[in-house]
Chain A
Amino acid sequence: MLARSRTLPKTALIAFALAALITSPSGAADKRSMILATTTSVRDSGLLDTLLPEFTEATGIRVRVIAVGTGAALRMGREGNADLLLTHAPASEKVLVDEGIVTRRTPFMENFFVIAGPAKDPAKISSAISPEDAIRRIDAAGAGWVSRSDDSGTHKREKALFHAAGLDPEADRDRLVRTGTGMGLSLQIAGERRYYILSDIGTFLAFHKRVGLEVLSKPGSSLRNIYSILQLDSSRFERPLHTSEAEELERFLLTKKTQRAIGAFGLDKFGRTLFTPLKLADDAHASPVSK
């Protein structure tokens, strides 16, 4: 009889746990949802948390945001693992457009990259005439450089800058650190080592007090950072994409109201705006906020 009396509480426990398993809350079963693959810089800035609730409320579409590097986001699009992409690497995006995987590429906002470094500025890049000149000065002075090395949009830009400066981005140099990790951690490594680094302005502002680095570059066209919406060709994939949801989200991001919200974003958190909307050109409120 001993064994039987022991089984009772155990069976009850298992039944309870199974019931909890089945009835537990989940948002995964929503009627309309889509996967938005985007870059960590967009997620980390908090912009989407500001914009998306309104979209979900208006349309009932749940947006599942997967934040990865631009390289990984483009790969997700190529393989049909995302419904819409939001990336910032024009050259790599155009490859997907040429291949027909991306049916429409719409630049919708921009900000800029900065070259940050220690306030002492050992390579004297604050007096450089261009970002490329700054990179050449860092190289010539043998100053330390932190490279993202993670195929993110920022890393792609970093390589393009080195190319434009006439340098080989893959070459081994003294005092070169390849982090292979996100912007925040890379900035902290640069801060600890007192090295130079390329960063998007949003992440830099979130970290600059903690890492003690300064913006030493002047804005130049080669530091423009354009974010685009990429619609994918659903017919290429075995399993259809949520194209109508993706198109609704694109329309939402391009409305004047959303574009204005993008232009105002960051004022309360950083005391300055982070993005310049690109689809307000004919609007009186449009004004360049990058400086």
Chain B
Amino acid sequence: MLDPELQTLVEITLRTLWVCGSALLLALLGGVPIGILLGSSQFISRGLLVSSVNAGMGAPPVVVGLIGSILLARSGPLGSWNLLYTPYAMIITSTAIALPLVIGLTLAAVGSLDDEWELQVRTLGIPRHWRIWLLIREIRMGLLAAVIAALGGILSEVGAVNMVGGNIAGETRVLTTAIMMHTSMGEYEIAMSQATVLFGNLLLLAGLLTWLQQSGRKR
């Protein structure tokens, strides 16, 4: 039997990974197609869209959290969903923070492909749906960079998830909000152990992704 403090740490860590993982997944599922679409097509309002994505990449997470908490509050427009102060509100907010990062970096990766590649693929007469996979394969380095940036952003985010999650014990407390709380309670030892775990997770994940990136480059 684990001692309660360690048990709490494990529980909070698992929740952190679950919330961030889900948000990352949603951001990738939404962001990569949008990025590819924006990057590989021409239409009139494209410039406007691209610049709003670029602005979104720099959006302060705390503003995203504020908007989320107003929208999701019982008295707010989406109050009937009963989502404020649940992990799902945290996933939605984290997705909103990660999405512009994923779109923006996908867009940049598509943009960095040289025109010859496009021409080659076209002249080879490869069917359209295969072309998409070839494109994804071609920009996988850029996509990994997007994953690393988005994961780093939402894993270390504290203001927004505190606002929409409420840092409720056993429900919405994640590593960053727990560190904030224990620091404000003067419990620096617990805060420090949680900070170590958070940092360890970041190192591990970043290391894993970098390794993937490096081994992908050799192929």
Contact = CB atoms under 8 A, between A and B. Distances in A.
Given A24-B18, A80-B74, A239-B79, A64 B184 contact: no
A81 B184 contact: no
Interface stretch (A14-22, A125-133, A145-153, A162-170): A14-22
Contact of B133 (A3, A20, A44, A237): A3
B73 A81 contact: yes
A183 B79 CA distance: 31
Interface in A198-253: 203, 206-207, 210, 237-239
A30 to B, nearest CB: 9
Given A28-B87, A184-B186, A207-B186, A67 B167 contact: yes
A64 B73 contact: no
B166 A26 contact: no
Given A64-B168, A237-B74, A237-B75, A206 B185 contact: yes
By Cβ-Cβ distance, the 9 closest A-B pairs, closest first, are A3-B133, A28-B86, A184-B184, A79-B75, A206-B186, A66-B166, A27-B171, A44-B185, A207-B186
Interface of B: 18, 21-22, 25, 29, 73-75, 79-80, 84-88, 130, 133-134, 137, 166-171, 181, 183-187
B219 to A, nearest CB: 11
B22 A21 contact: yes
A28 B75 contact: no
Nearest to A211: B186
B185 A184 contact: yes
Contacts, number: 82
A65 interface: yes
B63 to A, nearest CB: 18
Contact of A20 (B21, B166, B186): B21
Contacts of B166: 64-66
Contacts of B137: 3, 6
A26 B73 contact: no
A65 B169 contact: yes
Contacts of A185: 183-184
Contact of B22 (A14, A24, A46, A64): A24
Contact of B25 (A6, A17, A66, A207): A17
Interface centre among B22, B183, B186 (most CB of A within 10 A): B186
Interface residues of A, number: 38
Contacts of A238: 75, 79
Nearest to B26: A21
Contact of A65 (B88, B168, B183, B184): B168
A64 B171 contact: yes
Contacts of B169: 49, 65
A39 interface: no
Interface centre among B21, B74, B87 (most CB of A within 10 A): B74
A6 B133 CA distance: 8
29 contacts: A3-B133, A7-B133, A17-B21, A17-B25, A18-B25, A20-B18, A20-B21, A20-B22, A21-B22, A28-B86, A28-B87, A28-B171, A40-B184, A64-B85, A65-B166, A65-B168, A67-B167, A79-B75, A80-B74, A81-B75, A182-B184, A184-B184, A184-B185, A203-B186, A206-B187, A210-B186, A237-B75, A238-B75, A238-B79
Contact of A66 (B29, B86, B168, B181): B168
Nearest to A79: B75
A47 to B, nearest CB: 12
B76 to A, nearest CB: 9
Contact of B130 (A3, A183, A206, A239): A3
Nearest to A187: B186
Contact of B86 (A4, A17, A26): A26
A4 B85 CA distance: 42
A9 to B, nearest CB: 12
A286 interface: no
A239 B183 contact: no
Interface string A182-195: 11110000000000
Contacts of A67: 167
Given A18-B25, A49-B169, A66 B133 contact: no
